[in-house]
């Protein structure tokens, strides 16, 4: 079976995904709901572009969810098709946390290129961060059998 392209998401597909995403990532006092940050608009396209391995399961999940509310669709997928549920829920959370608005709220600027001088003594060796670990001494817990 060939994998469907993300561009083939219809308005109905996006609405179904948005309903499921809003159930999985609802609005809270501090955070917006999934559809408020565009997960069903452009966010899902970005996720599926970066994770093409999810496309087949994602589309199967949307097909099974037709005509259901977000809550009922998520429950059905969770109970009957774990792979589809995993793809849809991962796509929802991925698109949510890729949103610039969400990243700003949680204080995550994205990946940054940091310089590193391998000749400089790291701060954690001089700022006392490791003192309590050294004072505690070695600990050992045997692996359970």
Domain ranges of the chain: 6-106
The residue ranges of DSSP E strands in 19-144, in sequence order, are none
- Cα(110)–Cα(108) distance, integer angstroms: 6
The model's confidence at residue 70, banded by pLDDT at 50, 70 and 90, is very high
Q: What is the pLDDT of residue 60?
A: 97
Lowest mean pLDDT among 33-37, 60-64, 93-97, 141-145: 141-145
Mean pLDDT computed over every residue of the chain: 92
Tokens representing 134? 């050294």
> Phi first, then psi: what are they for 87, rounded to 5°?
-65, -45
Report pTM. 0.75
Exposure letters 73-110 (e unless 16+ CB within 10 A, then b): bbebbeeebeebbbbbbebbbbbbbbbeebeeeeeeee
Lowest mean pLDDT among 89-98, 102-111, 134-143: 134-143
pLDDT of residue 91 exceeding 80: yes
pLDDT of residue 3 exceeding 50: no
Instruction: Calculate mean pLDDT across residues 11-33.
Output: 97
């Amino acid at each position: 079976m060939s994998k469907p392209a993300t561009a083939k998401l219809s308005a109905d597909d996006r609405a179904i995904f948005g309903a499921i995403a809003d159930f999985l990532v609802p609005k809270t006092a501090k955070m917006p709901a999934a559809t408020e940050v565009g997960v069903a608009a452009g966010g899902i396209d970005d996720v599926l572009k970066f994770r093409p391995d999810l496309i087949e399961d994602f589309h199967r999940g949307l097909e099974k969810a037709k005509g259901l509310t977000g809550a009922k669709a998520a429950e059905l997928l969770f109970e009957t098709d774990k792979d589809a549920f995993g793809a849809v829920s991962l796509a929802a959370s991925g698109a949510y946390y890729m949103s610039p608005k969400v990243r700003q709220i949680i204080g995550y600027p994205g990946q940054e290129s940091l310089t590193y001088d391998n000749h400089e003594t790291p701060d954690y060796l001089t700022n006392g961060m490791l003192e309590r670990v050294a004072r505690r001494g070695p600990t050992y817990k045997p692996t359970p059998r």
